[in-house]
Structure 1
């Protein structure tokens, strides 16, 4: 098979399904917190699935735009090659992203509350600001951290909460442990890329304050997440941040890249696993996503991707 010959599946996987997992997880977490009690749910209402579909389309559009603006960097780093190496038509994916972006916002306002529509719109705008020059928050210190913390910890959480149709009075406060935890995880992900980001002029928080201070700030934020989880009686975030905190401590004490990478990999995985325990239906979705990615990359490019140790 001619690997460069376009295939319809390329236009599905260019949405980067692996990166949708954090968004799905935070939607579930928001829905769970809106229930106000700790319980296993064997099924989820149609409103939640629609919210998940909307958010997936929106984030998929954002990830396409991210790849378009990072095409030269991705080509040099030999990653995310669907766009960088021309496997997909640029005009086609621009149209695809516009359709997904606008459709998500339209359905958000049409099928849910005005507040939900606003949340979806803000998520999309933040995603654009993260990637598109001259804003490009991903390459600006502290704005990169805030964009990730607020994008996943607040906005995705809020979308899940609102899909439950519950009172939103405590939504903003209850999202704070997750904003801190996501920010902590993000900070440590900037450390392995410190040298390459610095060389290419991407001044992330990790580049700006240095590796050592970054590890300490990440630890402080994760500790803050733990303390807020106790204060708000959030057993889910308490379990996730409590399990992650020792890894962040070890990253600081050892100054070792292995512990740093383990802190954000295991820290993120813990919340996914806990969400799967609370919502068992999530487990087959994760497995199906993983296997679909495995099959696609093996069939299309002869690659073994993703692996559990991948940073996506």
Structure 2
């Protein structure tokens, strides 16, 4: 009888090939593991928030609310965007993932997908994301989508590979999720030039806060693979403190903007203070022992809180 155990070959292999013996395609399961649906809310929520900001901002929007186009924008910003970015990440993270207990059963480590297949899938998903973006939001939204895809590439792929550059890894993700995401949602109905700088700064801190705990999840594997992330360089305590400080600054800035009537009507300040306190506590709790699913729950909770605030506004 032949053993069904998979054996990962770590000996020299041709460039671009991820070799594992005994692996077979898993169909739907492989697709789910590749696209990781639990990531999708992390980028979809900021876009929804940007839509809400634009909808309630003073003055007339430049475009009417069209639900079909909004749905297309969310498909682009969620499933398609993550499918592309994660495929690129997997293509260049084999050495790290094979050392990572959380990732060593992933399709590319099991040998179901080779690097050229992952990059081909990334190109296909990225192209589809841009097409959906063009139909839903026009040139500006498409440019923003392309910008996030480029950030995803330079985060994972050499020679830049920001993933292995302390501080830059955080800044790259904070920019993509906290600034470009909400700005993209805003641009669906309003001029991007009208996007408040104060919201961009708030989003930058929120994006950093959401990304920092992910570094703690994989710090051991990153250290073993020689990848100098911010967590590897400065340690988990510093990363945890920076995450809480960033989240605190984002919450306080949002409250401050509401007191000035720039984000929400002032009469909703008591409700916002309550929800902001709950979100702060949720962050402290969920980031204490972070997992990707916990952080996705946090992102979804953030979106629900904003919708709850905006409905009566």
Normalised TM-score (structure 1): 0.72
Matched, 1:147 2:172: yes
Residues 68-79 of structure 1 correspond to what in structure 2 (within 5 A)? 68-78=91-101, 79=103
Residues 104-253 of structure 1 correspond to what in structure 2 (within 5 A)? 104-109=129-134, 111-163=136-188, 165-168=189-192, 169-233=194-258, 234=263, 242-246=277-281
User: Is the 1:240–1:271 contact (alpha carbons within 8 Å) kept by the matching residues of 2?
Assistant: no
Q: For residues 70 and 64 of structure 1, what CA distance do their matches in structure 2 show?
A: 10
Matched, 1:85 2:110: yes
Corresponding residue for residue 300 of structure 2: 272
Q: Which has the larger radius of gyration?
A: 2
Corresponding residue for residue 8 of structure 2: none
Gaps (5+ residues) in structure 2?
5-21, 58-64, 265-270, 309-313
Helix, strand or coil at the partner of 1:77? coil
Matched, 1:49 2:77: no
User: Is the 1:26–1:160 contact (alpha carbons within 8 Å) kept by the matching residues of 2?
Assistant: yes
Aligned pair in 2 of structure 1 residues 150, 193: CA closer, same or farther (>3 Å)?
same
Q: For residues 146 and 25 of structure 1, what CA distance do their matches in structure 2 show?
A: 19
Aligned pair in 2 of structure 1 residues 238, 22: CA closer, same or farther (>3 Å)?
farther
The Cα shift of 1:270 comes to 4.1
The alignment of Structure 1 onto Structure 2 pairs a total of residues equal to 266
The Cα shift of 1:170 comes to 2.3
User: Is the 1:185–1:263 contact (alpha carbons within 8 Å) kept by the matching residues of 2?
Assistant: no
Q: For residues 29 and 218 of structure 2, what CA distance do their matches in structure 1 show?
A: 27
Corresponding residue for residue 45 of structure 2: 25
Normalised TM-score (structure 2): 0.72
Aligned pair in 2 of structure 1 residues 245, 132: CA closer, same or farther (>3 Å)?
same
Q: Deviations over 1:64-104 (max 9, x none)?
A: 11111112322232425111112235544332221221232
Helix, strand or coil at the partner of 1:166? coil
Helix, strand or coil at the partner of 1:198? helix
The Cα shift of 1:12 comes to 3.0
